Amino acid sequence: MKKLSARRRHPLAALVVLLFALAATGGLYTAFAPAGEAKADQESSQSLAIEEGKKLYATGCSSCHGTGGQGTSDGPSLVGVGAAAVDFQVGTGRMPAQQPGAQAPKKKRVYNDDEIKQLAAYVASLGAGPATPGKDQYDPSGADVAKGGELFRNNCAQCHNFTGEGGALTHGKFAPDLGDVSDKHIYEAMLTGPQNMPSFTDGALPPKAKKDIVAYLKTVNSDKSESPGGFKLGGFGPVSEGLFAWVFGLGALIAVAVWVAARTAKAKKS
Amino acid sequence: MSTTTDTPASDSKRKAPAGERVADWADGRLGIYSLAKANMRKIFPDHWSFMLGEVALYSFIIIILTGVYLTMFFHPSMNEVEYHGSYVPMQGVQMSEAYKSTLDISFDVRGGLLVRQIHHWAALIFLAAMLVHMMRVFFTGAFRKPREVNWVFGFLLLLLGMFTGLTGYSLPDDLLSGTGVRFMDGAILSMPIVGTYVSMFLFGGEFPGHDMVARFYSFHVLLLPGLMLGLLAAHLILVFYHKHTQFAGPGRTNKNVVGMPLLPVYMAKAGGFFFLVFGVIAAISALFTVNPIWNLGPYRPEEVSTNAQPDWYMGFPEGLVRAMPGWEVSVWGGHTLVLGVMIPVMILMPLVLAAIALYPFIEAWVTGDKREHHIADRPRNAPTRTGFGAAWISWYFVLLIGGGNDLWATHFHLSINAVTWFVRIGFFVVPVLVFVATRRICLGLQRRDREKVLHGRETGTIKRLPHGEFIEVHEPLDQEQLHTLTAHDQYEPVEIGPETDENGVERKVTRGQKLRSRLSKGYFGDSGQIPKPSAEEYKELTSGHGHH
């Protein structure tokens, strides 16, 4: 106690007290905040979500997409992109963007599920667009994997590689690895065409075909997919195989050659 | 070949041992005795780098063995069938019989996938081993007289190996290989005038046609390996005939070979080494996937995937094409010349390869040396040659970066355009920088050798002299080391001679002579090599004042 009183007139004492006060207020707020208690009526919940979404939008998105979602020079218009686009972009952490660049990469997401729903509700209210798909739409069980493979090679492999390992696009843009993307997000990406990806509307690629593609990706590129040939070296094709053959194949054989040459018959003088 | 086996003790004493009788029988019919006598005690020198060619040879044998197994199950046909094998994600898919039989080899033939992977990994390693073997021969100057022809044989083996690999890669008729063949078709079509005719001839009509797989199959299993086997035999016969090169050392001259006999030492070593190579390749094939055709899908001309690259040995033409601007001109009233493909594939690719094939003849012309060389150079003692070799490797590597530009972009978070521009500029700049740097490093190493010969080895022992000075004790090298470090030849630059002859008449100096003299000066002039210490210099320094 003596130590404490000796320092109470320290120039930084006020700051420390302030920090304690802030921590206490914040802690109390999180403990007692009326989280999830505000379950209003079904009708008003939608308009409430739009209201909440608008607030979130104003702080997190409007600087690039404009105050009314009309778009600016820094970001495209969100009128008509639909809830599915918001669910994908915000749900995979791509939005809000970290920095301007060729492409916003996937990262840890900023908003929780409720907030994403609110944002999606607000953006959907700006103009009609694809709604967030339900589980019955994207769930791949029972879909035709072989058909999905053909569709994938026809429509997706150009950028995403044979099994969706990802690939390069121009000027630093890229088609990401689809290995750890959830079924819902794959479906939404096809539906809405995020960033540099073209969108595959239900007219171009019917819902069943989308489901087949999701099923194909789950079979060949997920943590459950099998690799009959052993370690797959990234699945990038001949470049990674060639690198491996040089470094580990020939490398090992040269090491063996050195070893054999060092164990020579005793023909030399001692 | 004669083999000795233990004869049973019960055998009659008058009869010669069974082994001898077998040998006698064979000799009477094949005349192998004198052949064996001349060659079985053939001496080979010992150095790990002399075994790189063996790695290539053994992987080639492994490729043939596994290839024979694969031919038993592969159907080189492009008939369309529906797949109903055991790989679920392909069931019901329409595909060619070639692709289907490759899927069957991978999933339904016992050991098929392992053998396929051994075949493919061994092919990748075979080509790599050939290139590294060539580097060894190049950097030690082992291509000099009398081995220039054998160098060309080796070069042809590399070239044929590349195309054997390419045709083999094309056989499964999967989406990757089909794209590769489409690339090749594009290259053929870029040939002025004859391109379309050659393409139609090769594919039996419009690409892809229905003959491609059957034709490539015959190239891949018959024509190209047949040529390679013939060349390989000639290559090995010449190795026997020329005898192996050896590094300089006491007792090793240009006229002898110091080492151990083929039988029994090298037979045992080489035989063991074969199994080690086989073991390493088999282990890799058992653990690591190569060319997972089940992931690629059957070839359809309208489909393409990213990461569509050839196997590494065709990576440099891929890089050339990827880096080349897509120029296209129209000449003679509407005939298109696709320079963006023609220049890299028809002009630059042969140039990259011809640089290897021609170098021994260029160097022989520059040095004007007609002597035989059986002592291998240390790379540092031929700085200009070493510089050229390193420059070529860097050139090749830049092109490989170009061939894999998309993976460089994704894995190092770069723009693919930036990678391509690096290749475009690096194609011209990197080899020059590497040449200059390598040559300077070699000269530095020569200076160090000279220092070591004249002043001895730095021992790290510090001695304090009575008057307080500190010196490091240098230990003189022994006679063997002195010999090894000074055994190499040093050429004098070729002089053109005076401009007028003894009668004052102007001599005719051709442009070729001038070029040769200039090159020779670059190779062997003051900036091209450090004079090795002479015996007089050594004596002067070591006698008299004593060394420190």
Same domain, B271 and B300: yes
Q: Does residue A1 carry a pLDDT above 70?
A: no
A242 with B414: Cβ contact below 8 A: no
Q: What is the pLDDT of residue A54?
A: 87
Domain final position from A85, A116, A131: A131
Q: Kindly state whether residue A169 falls inside one of the protein's structural domains.
A: yes
Q: Which amino acid is at B537?
A: E
Classify residue B180: in a domain, yes or no: yes
Based on the number of CB atoms within 10 Å of its own CB, is A17 exposed (0-12), middle (13-18) or buried (19 or more)? exposed
Is residue B408 very low, low, confident or very high in pLDDT (cuts 50, 70, 90)?
Answer: very high
pLDDT tens digits along A128-173 = 888 888 888 888 888 899 999 999 999 999 999 999 999 999 998 9
Q: Is residue A145 within 8 Å of A212, Cβ to Cβ? A: yes
pLDDT digits (tens, 9 = 90+) for B341-376: 999 999 999 998 998 999 999 999 998 888 999 999
B117 and B86 assigned to the same domain: yes
Contact B311 A238 (CB under 8 A): yes
Q: Name the domain boundary from B276, B304, B332.
A: B304
Interface contact B407-A172, CB threshold 8 A: no
Task: Indicate the number of domains in chain A.
Answer: 2
Query: Does residue A55 sit in the same domain as residue A110?
Result: yes
Mean pLDDT score, A40-50: 71
pLDDT value for A198: 92
How sure is the predictor about A43, in pLDDT bands with cuts at 50, 70 and 90?
Answer: low
Say yes or no: B461 and B533 in one domain.
yes
B267 and B153 share one domain: yes
pLDDT at B214 over 90: yes
Q: The pTM is what?
A: 0.87
- A87/A116 same-domain check: yes
Q: Do A137 and A235 sit in the same domain of this protein?
A: yes
Does B267 contact chain A (CB < 8 Å)? no
Give exposure, B94-129, as e/b (b: 16+ Cβ within 10 Å): ebbbbbbbbbbbbbebeebbbbbbbbbbbbbbbbbb
Assess if residue A267 is contained within a domain.
no
| Same domain membership, residue B34 and residue B56 | no
Quick count: other Cβ atoms within 10 Å of Cβ B535? 9
Instruction: Look at residues A110, A131, A152 and tell me which one is the last residue of a structural domain.
Output: A131
- Asked if A170 and B416 come within 8 Å (Cβ–Cβ), the reply is yes
Residue B211 domain-assigned (yes or no): yes
Residue A42 — very low, low, confident or very high, per pLDDT cuts 50/70/90? Answer: low
Last residue of a domain, one of A131, A166, A185: A131
Is B373 a domain residue?
Answer: no
User: Residue A35 — very low, low, confident or very high, per pLDDT cuts 50/70/90?
Assistant: low
The arithmetic mean of pLDDT across residues A16-44, rounded, is: 76
d(CA B287, CA A229): 7
Query: For residue range B121-132, what is the model confidence (pLDDT) as tens digits?
Result: 999 999 999 999
Q: Which residues of B touch A257 (CB under 8 A)?
A: 48-49, 51-52, 54-55, 273
What does the pLDDT average to over B90-119?
95
In a domain, B162, yes or no: yes
Domain encompassing residue A145:
133-251
Distance from CA of A193 to the nearest CA of B (A): 19
- Is pLDDT of A55 > 60? yes
B249 - beta bridge partners? B252
Domain-located, residue B313: no
* pLDDT single digits (tens) A88-138: 999 998 988 888 888 888 889 889 888 898 888 888 888 888 888 888 888
In angstroms, the first-to-last Cα distance of chain B is 60
Closest CA to A36 of A59, A57, A52, A55: A52
CA separation for the pair A228, B288 (Å, rounded):
10
Task: Say yes or no: A241 and A221 in one domain.
Answer: yes
Res. B1 pLDDT band, cuts 50 70 90: very low
Mean pLDDT of chain A: 86
**CB of B43 less than 8 A from some CB of A:** no
Domain boundary among the residues B271, B304, B337 is at B304
Of A124, A98, A123, A118, which is closest to residue A109 (Cα–Cα)?
A: A98
Residue B348 domain-assigned (yes or no): no
CATH number of the domain enclosing A213: 1.10.760.10
Q: Which domain holds residue B25?
A: 8-39
In this structure, which amino acid lies at residue A45?
S
Shared-domain flag, residues B130 and B30: no
For residue range B494-546, what is the model confidence (pLDDT) as tens digits?
Answer: 887 777 777 778 777 888 888 888 888 888 888 888 888 888 888 887 775 54
Question: Nearest C-alpha of chain A: how many angstroms from B280?
Answer: 7
pLDDT category at B177 given cuts 50, 70, 90 is very high
Q: Is the pLDDT of residue B181 over 90?
A: yes
Residues A179, A107 within the same domain: no
Q: Is residue A173 part of a domain?
A: yes
Determine whether the interchain pair B93/A146 forms a contact, defined as Cβ–Cβ distance below 8 Å. Answer: yes
- Does residue A74 sit in the same domain as residue A125? yes
Query: Strand B335-337 and strand B375-376: pairing?
Result: unpaired
Share of chain B above pLDDT 70, in %: 97
When divided into structural domains, chain B yields a total of 3
User: Annotated binding site of A for heme c, which residues?
Assistant: 61, 64-65, 156, 159-160
The overall average pLDDT reported for chain B is 90
Which one of B248, B277, B304 terminates a domain? B304
B213 in the same domain as B170: yes
The residues with which A167 forms a beta bridge, in sequence order, are: A175
Pick from A64, A66, A73: nearest CA to A99 = A64
Amino acid A270: pLDDT: 43
Exposure on the CB side of residue B53, measured as CA atoms within 13 A? 18
Whether A171 and A217 share a structural domain? yes
Q: A160 and A57: one domain?
A: no
Q: What is the 3-state composition of chain B as percent helix, strand, coil, each rounded to the nearest 5?
A: 60, 5, 30
Q: Residues of chain B with pLDDT > 90: what percent?
A: 66
Decide: B528 and B383 in contact? Cβ < 8 Å.
Answer: yes
Q: What is the pLDDT of residues B536-548, one digit of tens each?
A: 888 887 775 544 4
